[in-house]
Structure 1
């Protein structure tokens, strides 16, 4: 009798343990996990880890390169936004890669992303265009903060370079915002990119002047100007006759100066040309107007009806 009781108790304990184990397996999905713990899936896990490590190395290299390059032309805030965007793209690609590696179909996700992308693109096509153009502006390195540029007829000094637009202040101290798409689609002139600038001063000599004297006088002008470059053969000043005008022969005085001395050079060349021609008795033609004063006798009478 006692043996049967003990046997029944043991069987009940075994059944209870078996039921508890089954409940634990069901609760934690141990059977499903065991089915995934195969050599094939283990190889996928190892492959994923190795691939993620490789992607991580490339991501760090690209991030460092972009950060270093963008820091030369962009503000810190803009650089931070670009770096964050790169990080988000990396994380999304890693998640998509891992899901696809384990057989999870991404067609629905890609489809939804495509539809959302089209909708967003139509809604913000101008901003997207400026954003993409901003990437070209940054990588093109056609300008930097502090450069004096001209875009679409507007000139000024660059204050900020953003991923959507740049901001400049004009010579009369007006703030102008220029979208990046305008910069890409228009002609950009950077007056600060190179250390030297050329200036061509156009003048004219009267037909009755001594042209040899005029040429010699014009050749003395560059030496009279302190900011004109005289010691570099590639920037040697030149004086050339150009065309025959209505009142005289046109003459060009071509000089070079440092970028920061350009305005002073223009003023010096203009003034010293007048002085040199006056000393050599060379006349610069100008329009003359003949005025005749009529008295009352010569003015015809007009009858009024």
Structure 2
């Protein structure tokens, strides 16, 4: 750009020297040409940067995220280009820079949450931590109980998860970084959901487990589904904790399977209590 500007200025001075009526406007013409050169070369540089960035993000994020990031980069780069053109025209940007710094701090404080969501969204999408179609458990101290469902959309601000009960939950991306543990449920072609049941320990845990297992196997055979794996997970004072690994092909079937399991344990418990 410097070489182009030097050549153009040399040619311009030579041309103006032969046209005395243009001499008073030489400085203005030079500033205009400088601004045009900065604008054209800057635009070409932005297109190159955008082309490289889009190619890089194409394999890292979905189309919606790529468009959002591209828009942010456009705003940033073209804003810098406008400032460069104004500077080439001889406009004093010192006052604008001071005012922009003060305004930037105020806007930054006001938009802190939004910016945090956007940066988190970029990290979530580019790292492919969660992608549309992933069946996940989202555990966090921010909410309770964990969110169990299938991710439908991952945008810059929110990640949309359709829970196994059919509700659509929009989780702010800022809640992910350092606050959320992701557990992916898919194992091969199936989804495996670890379900814990806590039951009073006033009946023998092993007997309860065996009785509930028999009921569950019979019910799953009727439903033509693969029965879950059951285990006595832990004993905590006055309660017993059982772990049930539920296998489903579609997360929507999880509600029905959990209904069978809960009813089976409830029935087994009260049968033992009756004895």
Which interval holds the TM-score relative to the shorter structure? 0.5 to 0.7
CA drift at 1:181:
2.6
Match of residue 22, structure 2, among 13, 21, 24: 24
- Structure 2 distance, partners of 1:266, 1:273, is 11
Aligned residues: 238
Match of residue 89, structure 1, among 62, 65, 76: 76
Residue 62 in structure 1 maps to residue 60 in structure 2 = no
Cα pair distance change 1:250/1:97, threshold 3 Å:
same
Cα pair distance change 1:265/1:191, threshold 3 Å:
farther
Secondary structure class of the residue paired with 1:141: coil
- 5+ long unaligned stretches in structure 1: 1-18, 34-40, 231-236, 289-305
Cα pair distance change 1:193/1:138, threshold 3 Å:
farther
Q: Which residue of the partner structure matches residue 156 of structure 2? A: 163
Q: Which residue of the partner structure matches residue 5 of structure 2? A: none
| 8 Å Cα contact 1:202-1:253 kept in structure 2 | no
| 8 Å Cα contact 2:136-2:185 kept in structure 1 | yes
Q: Which residue of the partner structure matches residue 14 of structure 2? A: none
Deviations 1:70-122 (A, max 9, x none): 326xxx4x643431221233344556678889999866654443223112223
| 8 Å Cα contact 2:194-2:243 kept in structure 1 | no
Q: Which residue of the partner structure matches residue 245 of structure 2? A: 255
Deviations 1:162-205 (A, max 9, x none): 33334556677666554333344643556656632223455668
CA drift at 1:55:
6.7
Q: Which residue of the partner structure matches residue 196 of structure 1? A: 192
Q: Which residue of the partner structure matches residue 100 of structure 2? A: 113
| 8 Å Cα contact 2:161-2:170 kept in structure 1 | yes
Hey, which of these two has a bigger chunk of strand by percent?
2
| 8 Å Cα contact 1:202-1:250 kept in structure 2 | yes
- Structure 2 distance, partners of 1:251, 1:26, is 91
Cα pair distance change 1:160/1:257, threshold 3 Å:
closer
Q: CA RMSD in A?
A: 5.3
Higher Rg of the two aligned structures: 1
Deviations 1:234-273 (A, max 9, x none): xxx3544844976xx9573643413634333334445556
Q: Which residue of the partner structure matches residue 179 of structure 1? A: 172
| 8 Å Cα contact 1:205-1:250 kept in structure 2 | no
Secondary structure class of the residue paired with 2:272: coil
Cα pair distance change 1:94/1:178, threshold 3 Å:
same
Cα pair distance change 1:61/1:240, threshold 3 Å:
same
| 8 Å Cα contact 1:238-1:255 kept in structure 2 | yes
Residue 284 in structure 1 maps to residue 275 in structure 2 = no
Secondary structure class of the residue paired with 2:124: helix
- Structure 1 distance, partners of 2:163, 2:244, is 27
